[in-house]
Structure 1
Amino acid sequence: MVSIITRTESVIIQDELVLRCVEPRDLAELYELIYGEDEPEWKRWDAPYYPLERVSYEHFEQNTFKRLRADEEEARPASIRVIEADGEIVGLISYYIEDSLSMWLEIGIVIYKPSRWARGIGTRALQMWSGYLFEQMPIVRVGLTTWSGNERMMRAAAKVGFQIEARLRKCRIVLGEYYDSIRMGMLREEWDQMCAIRADRNVNN
């Protein structure tokens, strides 16, 4: 069975998985997912070398919509999306522009609910998001930064087509141990080539 990705009014859908814009009704649930626990499990894997900066709900709300307003003013796609699986919010996916001159763009993803880990949601969301950004923005590459202790993230990115472009050795400390900073990326021509291969397979099937 061929899984089809559809995009309608900036909503990206593949079967039960949806990437959509953040809405006001999402904020309370997102705030609880991010800050609801003293030591959230997700933070052990998402840049654990940086402390979780806790903010008030009002500050969280203001920052979220400030970011979305900036995207709208710059006439670019909303840079942060909710990840829904089976109608349930499970995480966020985003991008930020490192260098506007070359449109150096980096993406990030967090699946907040451990019960949804190891189900391929992150890999599929990365694939959907990368494709959307290549289609909607004049970029030549998509980048992603992680650390060598987050092997799941590295595997997911590799499955989508990201390659390790740089390994900065022993520059992150987590629980007293040194880890490498990993920079991964995918070029537009590499994405186009993978899309062509998938199209050929679908025709042949």
Structure 2
Amino acid sequence: MFIKDSTTNISLRSIETKDIFDLWKIAYDEDLEWMKWNGPYFNDPVLTFEELKKIAEKYYLDNPYRAVIVYEDKIVGQVSAFWEDGELKQWLEFGILLYDQNTWSKGIGSKVIELWITHLFEITPYIQRLGFTTWSGNKGMIKVGEKIGMTKEAQIRNVRYYQQRYYDSIKYGVLRDEWQLIHEV
């Protein structure tokens, strides 16, 4: 899979074995600021290269629901999608990780998610909705959801505990027909 935006220097492509080291380097060997925004209340571990390689070889390669984000010819993150309802495969959720802080607040995340949503609707023509979940402390993801025309569908109050404080869990979604109207797909 390869998707390139015609107006920016942003593309999504399938994850290959050669990408695993680059993903590890930007995710776990350089700046860990992204971990403060990606569900920090889960206390996910900082992975070694060997740990990430094992996970990547099992779940990332040859997976149409995962891709690397390439900006200006450099891997800067990844996108993923998963079935919230397991084997029923009617409820697809997605995520985005932009590891490099230099890519934040530049519209890159919005463009990536637009490309990713369009791709996911194309490869799963029978589903009617796509969405993501974030937390009220991640103002950037909230802004992205609103900017690209998604609907705030739920706000579960005070369920995410981080740094001695409770935050809300927030869900955004978009229906296929809404996406087609907004983005003329």
- Structure 2 length normalisation: TM-score? 0.91
| Alignment equivalent of 1:143, drawn from 124, 131, 144 | 131
Once residues 174 and 56 of structure 1 are traced to their aligned partners in structure 2, the CA distance between those partners, rounded to angstroms, is 24
Q: Percent identity?
A: 35
- The 3-state SS of whatever aligns with 1:52 is coil
Q: Which residue of 2 aligns with 1:117?
A: 104
Cα deviation digits, residues 137-174 of structure 1 (max 9, x gap): 12111010000111110111111221111100011112
Query: Secondary structure, in 3 states, of the residue corresponding to 1:129?
Result: helix
Coordinate RMSD, CA, aligned: 1.7
The answer for the alignment partner of 1:107 in structure 2 is: 94
Match of 1:85 in 2: 71
Larger Rg over CA atoms: 1
Match of 2:15 in 1: 22
Residue of structure 1 equivalent to 2:154: 166
Give the 3-state SS of the residue equivalent to 1:125 in structure 2.
helix
Task: Report the alpha carbon displacement of residue 20 of structure 1 after superposing the two structures with TM.
Answer: 0.5
Count of matched residue positions in the alignment of Structure 1 and Structure 2: 181
> 1:59: how far off?
2.9
Query: Contact 2:28 / 2:48 at 8 angstroms: preserved in 1?
Result: no
Q: Which residue of 1 aligns with 2:121?
A: 134
Q: Secondary structure at the match of 2:20?
A: helix
Aligned counterpart for 2:176 among listed residues 188, 193, 197? 188
TM-score by length of 1: 0.82
User: By how many angstroms is 1:68 displaced?
Assistant: 4.1
CA separation in 2, counterparts of 1:65 and 1:144? 25
Residue ranges of structure 1 left out of the alignment (5+ in a row): 1-9, 200-205
Task: Please give the residue correspondences for 1:32-47 in structure 2 after superposition, counting only pairs within 5 Å.
Answer: 32-37=25-30, 40-47=32-39
Do structure 1's residue 96 and structure 2's residue 82 form an aligned pair?
Answer: yes
Give structure 2 stretches of 5+ with no counterpart.
none
**Distance in 2 (alpha carbons) for counterparts of 1:68 and 1:27:** 9
